């Protein structure tokens, strides 16, 4: 009996390896591929969504915009064409959540520095004081890469319309005076079709790791 097993030992090992490979291939084929959901306004808390879009269930996209970045350059959807991007809302003099959010945006910038498909976009919620010079000083101080990350300012109503009607992240429409700045800590993941694919707590490092993983999923999804 021992002689029999010794004689066929090599074939048994080969058969075992082939079986393991076949099982692995079958598992890979049958394992469902993770796909990120597409967020619509009716899936988000009503306090964060303008009443005009609260009940939209299909085809929601980020609206066209025209803003100025830290270098005084006009930034539009064209700057993000065929790009995945992460958007947020902040202001430069914030002493609470914004510094943490900016640090985490910088972490994303660093982790994806060799990925040309992903960009960042931060909107000030007090454009009255956060003009181009203020944004430039802030960008230099925080280590913003101008080629990857735009800090933008512009018309206040336009910015708040974007926050509530497109990105779905602001608790006010911005009509309560110059310092009406009730925004959330959310980072928003936007795909190449201008659709929202995820919300993340920009103050939570674990959430930033989840965002980075979701960016990988989104790239594998092959959204054009």
Which residues line the annotated binding site for Cu cation?
Answer: 94, 98, 183
Angle at 102 (CA atoms; ends 96, 108), nearest 5 degrees? 145
Place of tokens 């970045």: 69
Provide the token pair at 167. Answer: 């990105």
Report the binding-site residues: 94, 98, 183
3-state secondary structure 157-224: HHHHHHHHHHCCCECCCCCCCCCCCCECCEEEEECCCCCEEEEEECCCHHHHHHHHHHHHHHHHHCCC
CA dist 138 and 53 (Å) reads 33
**CA–CA separation, 51 and 171 (whole Å):** 12
DSSP summary character for residue 58:
S
Residues 6+ apart with CB under 8 A from 202: 88, 97, 100, 101, 104, 105, 185, 186, 187, 208
């Amino acid at each position: 009996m021992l002689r029999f097993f010794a004689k066929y030992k090599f074939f048994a090992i080969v058969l075992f390896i082939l079986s393991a490979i076949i099982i692995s291939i079958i598992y890979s084929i049958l394992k469902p591929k993770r796909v990120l959901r597409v967020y619509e306004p009716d899936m988000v808390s009503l306090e964060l969504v303008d009443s005009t879009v609260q009940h939209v269930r299909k085809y929601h996209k980020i609206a066209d915009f025209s803003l100025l970045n830290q270098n005084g350059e006009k930034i539009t959807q064209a700057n993000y064409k065929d790009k995945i991007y992460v958007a947020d809302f902040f202001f430069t003099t914030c002493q609470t959540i914004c510094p943490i959010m900016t640090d985490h945006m910088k972490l994303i910038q660093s982790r994806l520095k060799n990925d040309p498909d992903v960009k960042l976009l931060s909107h000030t919620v007090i454009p009255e004081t956060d003009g181009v010079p203020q944004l430039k000083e802030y960008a230099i101080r925080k280590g913003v890469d101008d080629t990857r990350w735009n800090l933008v300012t512009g018309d206040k109503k336009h910015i708040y319309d974007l926050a509530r009607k497109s990105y779905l992240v602001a608790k006010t429409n911005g009509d309560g005076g110059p310092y009406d700045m009730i925004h959330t800590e959310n980072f928003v993941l936007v795909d190449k079709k201008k659709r929202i694919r995820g919300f993340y707590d920009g103050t939570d490092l674990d959430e930033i790791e989840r965002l980075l993983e979701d960016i990988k999923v989104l790239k594998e999804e092959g959204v054009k």
